[in-house]
Amino acid sequence: MRKTLMTLAAGAAIVAVPAVAQVGLGGAANLNAGAALDPAATVGSVTDRVGQTVDSVDGAANDAVDSAKLTLATREQVRAGAQVTDAKGASIGTVQGIDGDNAIVVDGGKLYNVPLSALYSQADSVTGPLVTKLPKADLSVRAAGAAEAR
């Protein structure tokens, strides 16, 4: 995700540089003729800002996980019949099994692919529900995308 955001920001900066140069050459705005545009500096500053934003969001998510005393669920905890909830406690469904790096979760006849890396357990509970930070709407999109890919 971080690399994708940084790539998008860098691409936007690169596209913007020629437009700024054209305005300076013949448009209403005048750029200082002695000042040279440094695309590397522009891209660097944009990617630095994007990187700081991503770091901030990652930190907030990690703090939320830590404050709820959640730990990454082990494969043994992701077993058939285990309940899965979202971070607010709303039911996502029941684990049917594991397929590669995904837990297959069932709810009302719908199948959801939940990445094992997105499943957490209560640090002080062996039998409690598994928790995912992914909203149910995102899981529906993942399931639809996986079905189309097949």
Number of domains in the chain: 2
| 61 plus 49 within the same structural domain | yes
Tell me the pTM.
Answer: 0.49
**Which stretches within 68-94 are classed as H helix?**
none
Domain that holds residue 12: 2-67
What is the CATH classification number for the domain harbouring 79?
2.30.30.240
Question: Among 43, 20, 41, which residue's Cα sits nearest to residue 32?
Answer: 20
Tell me phi and psi for residue 100, to 5 degrees: 65, -120
Digitized pLDDT (tens) for each residue of the chain, 150 residues in all? 556 655 655 555 565 555 445 444 444 455 555 556 677 677 777 777 777 776 766 666 655 555 567 888 888 889 999 999 988 888 999 999 999 999 999 998 888 889 999 999 887 666 678 999 888 888 765 555 555 555
| Same domain for 15 and 51 | yes
